[in-house]
Amino acid sequence: LASWTVSSPETVQGIKGSCLIIPCTFGFPANVEVPHGITAIWYYDYSGKRLVVSHSRNPKVVENHFQGRALLLG
């Protein structure tokens, strides 16, 4: 059954002020065409506000609190 998927650890731990790598994988149905690539957007949900933590195509939409602090690799 083809579907959209995101897989990441349920919890992560790190040292305050240090870098943290959160491994994750993304999947999408084979019949979906992506002629211009995939846009990756990471949202952090503060009570339904869906703040943008990282945006692979438009960093200007990232919330000030997260500017320069988060990056999606891969």
Residue range 33-53, pLDDT digits in tens: 989 888 889 998 878 888 999
Q: What is the pLDDT of residue 10?
A: 93
β-sheet bridge partners, residue 52: 43
d(CA 51, CA 37): 23
Q: What letter does residue 39 receive in the DSSP assignment?
A: -
pTM: predicted TM-score of the whole model, two decimal places: 0.73
pLDDT of 74 strictly over 80: no
Q: What is the pLDDT of residues 18-37, one digit of tens each?
A: 988 899 998 989 899 989 88
User: What band does 1 get if pLDDT is binned at 50, 70 and 90?
Assistant: low
CB-based contact 40:56 (threshold 8 Å): yes
**CA separation, residue 18 to residues 10, 22, 37, 53, 64 (Å):** 20, 13, 31, 17, 19
Q: What is the CA radius of gyration of the chain?
A: 14
Tokens found for residue 16: 């305050």
